[in-house]
Amino acid sequence: MRRFFTAGWPMKQPEEIMDTAKNIRVAYQGIDGAYSQEAAYRYFGKGSKTIGCATFDEVVRKVEQGEVEFGILPAENSAAGTIVQTYDLLLESNLQIVGEVYLPVHHNLMILPDAEWKNVRVVYSHPQALAQCAQAIRRFGLRPEATWDTAGSAKKIREEDLRDAAAIASRSAAEVYNLKIVAANIEDLDHNMTRFFVLGRAPFRRGRNHKSSIVFTTRHQPGALVDCLAEFASRGINLTKIESRPDRRKPWHYVFYLDFEGCLEDSQVEQALLQLLKKATFVKVLGSYPAGDKDGRP
């Protein structure tokens, strides 16, 4: 059965949101000092009220139930790749991507101020951060231990008074939990950057420099994916991301996530999606939103 999902128009434009940022509640995964909190401040401004959540699911739930206006979740990292949990949640949720923000990520190695570096044997952080600093961790001869959050790792060092351990987290986390940075910017790649999705209950109105995200499934036959993608290529629509993920509802079936330049209301995009509906077995619009600045500027 062919299905096509999108949400209704309209909603506030980005500039309208920025004007009322002090009243905006934004949910993110983590605690004070988390990179997701930094991304929220970068997008909405320091006047916004950020609300930390234990899990990605809790972020989505708070937005869905109206406890906050927006949520922010990491979508992909330039070094470590896609954060698959975010995409899986978007497939299952009725929330829309209403914006994106690129955050330059600089990881820092930190310990208690009175700890001795020569005694440090283990380093705690989120798996993504550990992956992004793998070379530095080996160089320092530390044993990586995964935790649920970068800032949470810094908090763990402080609260448990761990003098033989370090954390990898943001500079703001070091300030919040009063830790000493022993090595700054230890990420393996200089251009380390994370793309975050801003999630809301309805999309923005049409604007310039838009991107759109969809997910779809194809028929199980030769050339099915090529035929679907041809609808965009034939209309000069530039694809910026395509990725397949297992369909958790059907073993050994796959869904395709697609980002492309353009707004849903553009005639070329509209025609491409209408033709995609004829070829795909399932299509869901995840959002149409102002493109973020890949240079990491707010």
Query: Which CATH number is 151's domain given?
Result: 3.40.190.10
Element (H, E) at 157: helix 150-159
5 is catalytic: no
Q: How confident is the model at residue 206 (pLDDT cuts 50, 70, 90)?
A: low
Q: How confident is the model at residue 205 (pLDDT cuts 50, 70, 90)?
A: low
The Cα 7–Cα 146 span in angstroms is 38
Mean pLDDT is lowest, of 42-46, 282-286, 293-297, for 293-297
Q: Say whether both 216 and 169 belong to one domain.
A: no
Domain boundary among 158, 191, 224: 191
Reduced to 3 states, what is the DSSP secondary structure of residue 198? strand
Residue 2 has pLDDT above 50, yes or no: no
Q: What is the DSSP letter of 298?
A: -
Query: How many domains, the chain?
Result: 2
Catalytic site residue from 147, 194, 217, 218: 194
Q: Indicate whether 128 and 183 sit together in one domain.
A: yes
For residues 97 and 287, the answer to whether their CB atoms sit within 8 Å is yes
C-alpha distance from residue 275 to each of 35, 220, 270, 272, 278 (Å): 39, 18, 9, 5, 5
Q: Are residues 137 and 205 in the same domain?
A: no
Q: Give residue 8's pLDDT.
A: 38
pLDDT tens, residue by residue, 19-37: 555 689 999 999 999 999 9
Give yes or no: 196 in active site: yes
Q: Are residues 132 and 82 in the same domain?
A: no
- Domain residue limits at 12: 4-104+194-290
pLDDT at 3 over 90: no
Close Cβ partners of 274 (under 8 Å, ≥ 6 residues apart): none
- Which among 141, 165, 191 is the end of a domain? 191
Residue 101 has pLDDT above 70, yes or no: yes
Indicate whether 1 pLDDT > 50. Answer: no
**Could you tell me if residue 297 is inside a domain?**
no
What pLDDT is recorded for position 57?
A: 97
How do residues 133-191 score in pLDDT, each as one tens digit? 999 999 999 999 999 889 999 999 999 999 999 999 999 999 999 999 999 999 998 88
Q: Which of 44, 70, 196, 216 is labelled catalytic? A: 196
Average pLDDT across the chain, whole number: 90
One domain, residues 177 and 222: no
